[in-house]
Chain A
Amino acid sequence: MTALPPFQTLLDEYAAEVMAVLRGAVGRTDADDCFQETFIAALRAYPKLGDASNLRGWLLTIAHRKAIDHHRAKGRRPVPVADVKEVGVYDPEPDDGIWAVVGALPPKQRAAVSLRYASDLPHTEIAAALGCSPEAARRSLHEGLKRLRKELA
């Protein structure tokens, strides 16, 4: 068994990446909350983690679950507006055009695209993060990209 490194190492190496993935998945405004929840959950579980060989994948999986929780909670929250969009995204970054469209993709496609492009994960790790087969991950990514091309064309 590989010894668990000091948790600070995970923050130093992956905090920026986790933040980027979360911004892609839930938008800039809510990414901070999801970031906190991701790392608190990770800290809580860390001493009992049996396998230190893929800490990055482990963290991104937690981040992905927190993003899904966030979308579910948001779905349950009543919003007093006439025209209800699936996700409200405010992102003043220059790339917000793309990420806003990514944010509007169905959950699996959105996660696959975020993990691939914000986080540069290979198909096998996207599959592990989504809890599906590599083929299904590839399919979600493909469908997501197809839809993005159409939306952005």
Chain B
Amino acid sequence: MKVSLELLADRAADQGLLDVAYTMSDSPFGPLLLAATPSGLVKVSLPGHDPEETLEDLAARISPRVLEVPARLDEARRELDLYFAGKLTEFDLPLDWQLSRDFRRRALRAIDRIPYGKTRSYTEIARSAGNERAVRAAGTACGANPIPIVVPCHRVLRTGGALGGYGGGLPMKEALLKLEGAL
């Protein structure tokens, strides 16, 4: 049966019928759910979020053709493992931004440019996204980041240096910043 299912995943991909591939991946913080479309990594779901709900959401927002195909996420998993081991400072993965639009997408693109080990304020992100006064919206964009860790919303802090919030919990945000030597 396992062979049949692997063959099915290959055929589905060949025929353009694999819209979302996903896998679970271990991390020092607990299991992550990784999902990719043919365009690139589209979702990283942090520990503490229900994977089933995440998959249902992907089915509704992208396509119900969602299959568990770990091989499609080998490179993402490899880079994340290296990152958590402190051996990778820049991800080189194609990203699919379709889950964010407009201001949020611009804010996330700005966040994606924050270098390893550096931090920015929500105000700076709002400015980069084209609206300096939309500080609260920049915070919301961080909170709604579909690709955390890889798009490093953990590098965004309150003006003055307070941690702000994090989808994986503040201890995780703090640990990531320490790993990068930013704290």
Contacts and interface: CB of A to CB of B under 8 A. Distances in A.
Instruction: Say whether A associates with B.
Output: yes
A19 B58 contact: no
Contact of B63 (A16, A36, A47): A47
B64 A15 contact: no
B66 A6 contact: yes
Scoring A8, A16, A36, A46 by chain B CB atoms within 10 A of each residue's CB, the highest score goes to A8
A150 interface: no
B64 A5 contact: yes
B64 A36 contact: no
A8 B33 CA distance: 14
Contacts of A15: 1, 4-5
A7 B55 CA distance: 10
A121 interface: no
Contact of B15 (A4, A16, A40): A40
Contact of A43 (B1, B4, B17): B17
A16 B1 CA distance: 8
Scoring A6, A32, A36 by chain B CB atoms within 10 A of each residue's CB, the highest score goes to A6
> Interface extent on B, as a size class?
20 to 34
A43 to B, nearest CB: 4
A39 B17 CA distance: 11
A44 interface: yes
B162 interface: no
B56 A6 contact: yes
Interface string A29-44: 0001001100110011
A87 interface: no
A8 B8 contact: no
Contacts, number: 59
Contacts of A36: 4, 7-8, 11
Scoring A16, A19, A35 by chain B CB atoms within 10 A of each residue's CB, the highest score goes to A35
Contacts of B12: 39-40, 43
A11 interface: yes
A39 B18 CA distance: 12
A44 B15 CA distance: 9
Contacts of A44: 15, 17
Contact of B11 (A3, A32, A40, A46): A40
A6 to B, nearest CB: 4
Contacts of A8: 22, 55, 66-68
Nearest to A4: B64
A7 B5 CA distance: 13
B80 to A, nearest CB: 21
Contact of B65 (A7, A16, A19, A32): A7
15 contacts: A3-B56, A4-B64, A5-B59, A5-B64, A6-B64, A6-B66, A7-B59, A8-B67, A11-B8, A11-B67, A15-B5, A16-B1, A36-B7, A36-B8, A47-B63
